[in-house]
Amino acid sequence: MRPVLAFHRLYKGCCRVSSFRLDNKVALVTGGASGIGQAIAVCFAEHGATIRLVDLNDETAKKTVEQISQLGGTATAHLCDLANAAQTSTVFHEILNFSRVDILINSAGVAHVGRLENTTDEEFERVFRVNVLGTHHAMRETIPAMVAQGGGVIVNMASIAASAGLEDRYAYSMSKGAVLSMTYSVARDYLPKNIRCNAISPARVHTPFVDGFVKKNYPGKEAEAFAKLSAAQPIGRMAKPSEVAMLALYLCSDEASFITGADYPLDGGFINLRG
């Protein structure tokens, strides 16, 4: 038998086409009421997952749940300040009392613009509480349940700010560097418990936050500012939330069962192709 034919017969079907289904899986998405988190919640619901949406904004969370329902999916909204350890414990225990959680997406976060000398302690601590402690609290409440049920998947939203020096992003870079380090640590510690933990590090993503930032800081010059921000990525544009969602979908699917302890830059070439 020719070697190529033998290889084809041996591995026939191993590269089957897949839509990365999440049927019979429950995904808890923090920050799922808007932006990247919302895109992930909707995408996962479209691919069969039941969604537990955790967010500070009750109104937009309920709208996202309604959107998922209209698409034929199932979702519930849960109001929670993830920076508050006691509140996070209460809300997550309520969720875990009536539902398993197979997937945890830590997408809740805040941005901050500033250098060391003009970042106040209050601003620094706020970014730390939301981005770092919020992620820590969510994982701490979820992982014991994942261990008890035999495994799970976690995806943390880091940022290229965790790996690349970004101008005027002192506190934000600190927080995302911590998120990335926590990702590696959790992946190592809970590998024997069948829990996979990875991170996605986007460059600039076109979300309502970006539109609000441009409107606030460049009144009358929005188009020019938007073009400049887009050009910061070598690919020439910002990412779409749906593109982040599709990467998260793959990482949480069974097709990615060999991947853990990894960081995936989704950056349009920002880290490696900048001039």
For residue 249, what pLDDT is reported? Answer: 98
Residue type, 11: Y
At 190, the pLDDT band (50, 70, 90 cuts) reads: very high
Q: Is residue 12 part of a domain?
A: no
At 208, the pLDDT band (50, 70, 90 cuts) reads: confident
Closest of 256, 272, 246 to residue 160, by C-alpha? 272
Residue 17 has pLDDT above 90, yes or no: no
The answer to whether residues 132 and 157 belong to one domain is yes
Query: Are residues 110 and 126 in contact, defined by beta-carbon separation less than 8 angstroms?
Result: yes
For residue 18, what pLDDT is reported? Answer: 57
Q: What is the C-alpha to C-alpha distance for residues 233 and 201, in angstroms, rounded to an integer?
A: 13
Q: Is residue 6 part of a domain?
A: no
Out of 170, 172, 190, 264, which one is annotated catalytic? 172
Return the minimum-mean-pLDDT range out of 1-15, 95-109, 121-135.
1-15
The answer to whether residues 60 and 135 belong to one domain is yes
The answer to whether residues 232 and 143 belong to one domain is no
Percent with pLDDT over 70 in the chain: 93
Q: Is residue 232 part of a domain?
A: yes
For residue 8, what pLDDT is reported? Answer: 44
Most confident range, picked from 139-148, 157-166, 263-272? 139-148
Most confident range, picked from 9-23, 47-61, 196-210? 47-61
For residue 66, what pLDDT is reported? Answer: 97
The answer to whether residues 251 and 148 belong to one domain is yes
Residue 220 has pLDDT above 60, yes or no: yes
Q: Is residue 111 part of a domain?
A: yes
Residue 141 has pLDDT above 70, yes or no: yes
Q: Is 172 a catalytic residue?
A: yes
The answer to whether residues 93 and 196 belong to one domain is yes
At 27, the pLDDT band (50, 70, 90 cuts) reads: very high
Q: Is residue 134 part of a domain?
A: yes
Q: Is residue 113 part of a domain?
A: yes
Return the minimum-mean-pLDDT range out of 62-66, 149-153, 201-205, 216-220.
216-220
Q: Is residue 9 part of a domain?
A: no
Mean pLDDT, the chain, whole residue set: 92
The answer to whether residues 83 and 44 belong to one domain is yes
Q: Is residue 152 part of a domain?
A: yes
The answer to whether residues 125 and 222 belong to one domain is no
Residue 219 has pLDDT above 70, yes or no: yes
Here the CATH number for the domain that contains residue 75 is: 3.40.50.720
The answer to whether residues 146 and 170 belong to one domain is yes
Q: What is the C-alpha to C-alpha distance for residues 263 and 194, in angstroms, rounded to an integer?
A: 18
- How many domains does the structure of the chain reveal? 2
Instruction: Give the DSSP H or E segment for 212.
Output: helix 208-217
The answer to whether residues 126 and 225 belong to one domain is no
Q: What is the C-alpha to C-alpha distance for residues 111 and 97, in angstroms, rounded to an integer?
A: 32
Read off the pLDDT of residues 75-111 as tens digits, 9 standing for 90 and up. 999 999 999 999 999 999 999 999 999 999 999 999 9
Query: Are residues 22 and 249 in contact, defined by beta-carbon separation less than 8 angstroms?
Result: yes
Q: What is the C-alpha to C-alpha distance for residues 186 and 165, in angstroms, rounded to an integer?
A: 25
The answer to whether residues 95 and 220 belong to one domain is no
Domain range for 51: 21-203+240-265
For residue 9, what pLDDT is reported? Answer: 46
The answer to whether residues 174 and 223 belong to one domain is no
The answer to whether residues 169 and 183 belong to one domain is yes
